[in-house]
Amino acid sequence: MLLNDGENWEPADDLVLKWKTHFRGKVDVDRELVKMELWCDVNPKKRKTKKGIETFCLTWLNNAEKAGNGAKTLQKSQEAEFAARHKKRTSSIRSRPIDEGMTDVSFLFGEEKIMMEQFYLTRYGFFWDGELKYGAG
């Protein structure tokens, strides 16, 4: 995002991860970051300072959450995309999509299983435990 001094600013990875964790299932953070960048491009007189850019981003994300339609749209689009990619499925384990195999926690137990479920939910938005499971929405 362009700042008022013309410098380009990008949020640190840990900040983006924090936002994604906080707004999980409610706001598509990556999509909103693109919108913010476009807004800054077309509103040069309203660009933010280095000191104020993080507050601007958080306010934007809070407003997106309040708008409320992002969560339903995000989850529906993820589910629709997954379903479209995996229409032809059989009961064979070999035919199981790679997404499910990569996020399979059905063979884990205890704390390790809980930890991996949380990891996959954070990273991919779903995990496989005998069936596809999504984060709380």
pLDDT digits (tens, 9 = 90+) for 49-103: 999 999 999 999 999 888 875 555 556 666 666 666 555 554 555 666 666 667 8
Residues 45 and 17 in one domain: yes
The better pLDDT of the pair 135, 73 is held by: 135
> Tokens at residue 93, please?
């384990």
pLDDT digits (tens, 9 = 90+) for 109-133: 899 888 988 888 888 788 878 777 8
Can you give the residue range of the structural domain that contains 104? 91-134
- How confident is residue 27, by pLDDT bands cut at 50, 70 and 90? confident
Average confidence score pLDDT of the chain: 81
Residues 20 and 42 in one domain: yes
Checking if the pLDDT of 10 tops 70, the result is yes
- Look at residue 63 in the predicted model and tell me its pLDDT: 92
Threshold 0.75, pTM exceeds? no
User: Can you spell out the DSSP letters for 19-85?
Assistant: HHHHTTTT--HHHHHHHHHHHHHH-GGGPPPTTTHHHHHHHHHHHHHHH-HHHHHHHHHHHHHHHHH
- Look at residue 99 in the predicted model and tell me its pLDDT: 63
Number of domains in the chain: 2
Residues 62 and 4 in one domain: yes
Helix axes 110-124, 13-22, angle to 10 degrees: 100
- Look at residue 137 in the predicted model and tell me its pLDDT: 47
Residues 99 and 44 in one domain: no
Is residue 94 within 8 A of residue 48, CB to CB? The reply is no
